[in-house]
Chain A
Amino acid sequence: MVTRVTPDLSVQLGRLHLAYPTLMGSGCYGSGIEYAPFVDLARIGAVVLKSVTRQPRLGNPTPRLVHTPAGMLNAIGLQNPGIAWYLEHDVAKYADRPCAMVGSVAGFSIDDYAYVCERLAARAEIDAIELNISCPNVASEGETFACDPALTAKVVRAARATTDKTLIVKLSPNVTDIAAVAREAEAAGADALAVINTVRGMAIDVEAWRPRLGNVTGGLSGAAIRPIAVLAVYEVARAVRIPIVGQGGIETVTDALEFFLAGASAISIGTANFTDPRTPERIVAGLSEYLQRRNLTRIGAIVGRANRGFANRQEYEGDQG
């Protein structure tokens, strides 16, 4: 007999309860309100806001975007008004928020992260914090944190000490062993991990003989990086017990399912919003339909179900000789 109850798509990330397992990726959804004319924000889980830093930043020189096969490169450079102005002018508009608002913190020193995290998390309008320790588009230090397990531990511990709100740590794929970084973030007190940030890349103008981005290098996003992201989630899921927000090139419900099955408890949608802002609604509808078809009552039932570890020696033996 097939039951036709509406499946439970809600997800718990630390203390943060989301009605839907869909987050909108930081830097892709602005201040959260730019998409309000096109999307019912009450039908998404959370908006991860654009990263804010201690000091204001003008951002990178142009061009900041290049379209690439099945994706795009960006190098925005954390343009933002700085935490003081942000708290005074921007945060209040989230008082009547239709979905959860996750503040994103970026910085250049451990003290920066703690300073901004403490002030942002203190605001009632902000439901959780994401630590962006993996922005590939700012000079050196930005991504250094997520590329070094010991530095990751330090910065997470410092931010953890400032708030009890859910702390999501966004990891970089531009590392040799993402699981090692993930373990340190968990041990230092992260409530959840965002896996992954963009993949470093570049494009060159062959007529002008120069890089096409003003910043020279950028972060690659879109379908082009999806298999990289699926593997990263799979590896991290084997290394930690805290929930994972899977992200990287998710465009369809099938893409989203790959991430849940790899071990993500929630997903984040970024670049696909640039193609069609109705993508999150479609994915939520598709997840519901998928769970009903398989007679499952909640999204949690599929998390990590394809995660069988890695092929061992015995599994290879059949191919020997």
Chain B
Amino acid sequence: MPLLESTARVHATTVVDRRELAAGIIVLGFDAPELVAATRPGQYLMAIPPGGEVCATALGIYEAQGTRASILFFVTGKRTRALAELRPGDALTVMGPLGVGFDLSGGVRDVAIVAGGVGIASVLLPAQALLRAGARVQLYYGARNAALLVDAERFVTEGCELLAATDDGSRGHHGYVHEALARAPHAPDLILACGPTPMLRAVAKVAAERRVPAQLSLEETFACGVGGCWGCVVPIAATSAQAPSFPPAALGGSDVVNARVCTEGPVFWAHDLRW
């Protein structure tokens, strides 16, 4: 019996496709059939940096179909810059799939997906799964400007209803994406969100006000990405099903426990978060 039941593995792959969707926003496609077969919506991978920088980079798994998986990322530092320099034919090693993704059970019919910036990378797979299951999927997609609403049309082609928001008003709602969600005439059955932490906090607030359950895919600084270092924790309710199995005495008199974003998450129920 293996020490740890997991479908995650190290995958030595080759880049087969590179697209620059906007300035600094890159999609790298690679062949990894075993990764694709194991991936559930909302999971991520650790990309081993080709430039020798310290620590692998956590990235949402954007596409996973057939033999092909892809990652979508914004070039922010040395590690993402090294990834952005890869070209078709170059080697790319990834570890995954990792983490607990979105819970799409329960027969939801009407779902709002909220994506901020490159948070879009983690919501294509859940959108596709929900659409396949016959759900209505509205994509609330926010970015600084219209050019950074990358692959928006792709989601429309898949069958999502697009509600855009931009900081400069160049497309859709002029303002934050959660404001568009707050104004929606009908509350959805479920909200899924991925994006910057301030956006996730705002979405959690809207979800609570509208009494809609929400699952948030969190972003934290990772070191190991596999649950070994306890560096990426977020405080959650000790009563959460995702709480690590710690004894009550470990709670220091409170009802909060530190859960690893990489392993217990990255997707948490908004009502469980104590951040």
Contacts and interface: CB of A to CB of B under 8 A. Distances in A.
B49 A275 contact: yes
Contacts of B246: 56, 81, 85
Interface stretch (A65-73, A162-170, A258-266): A65-73
Interface residues of B, number: 42
A222 to B, nearest CB: 5
Contact of A276 (B56, B221, B263): B56
Residue of B4, B6, B230, B257 contacting most chain A CB atoms (<10 Å)? B230
A36 interface: yes
Interface residues of A, number: 46
A308 interface: no
A144 interface: no
A36 B95 CA distance: 12
Contacts, number: 132
SS of A interface (majority): loop
Contact of A36 (B3, B77, B257): B3
A27 interface: yes
SS of B interface (majority): loop
A56 B223 contact: no
Contacts of B234: 62
A36 B48 CA distance: 17
Nearest to B250: A56
Given A34-B224, A58-B257, A274 B56 contact: yes
Nearest to A55: B249
A199 B216 CA distance: 35
A222 B229 CA distance: 14
B100 to A, nearest CB: 14
A59 interface: yes
18 contacts: A27-B230, A29-B228, A33-B4, A36-B6, A37-B4, A50-B230, A56-B249, A65-B232, A66-B221, A72-B55, A76-B230, A81-B246, A85-B247, A271-B223, A274-B54, A274-B224, A276-B48, A276-B93
Interface of B: 2-4, 6, 8-10, 48-49, 52-56, 77, 93, 95, 220-234, 245-247, 249-252, 257-258, 263
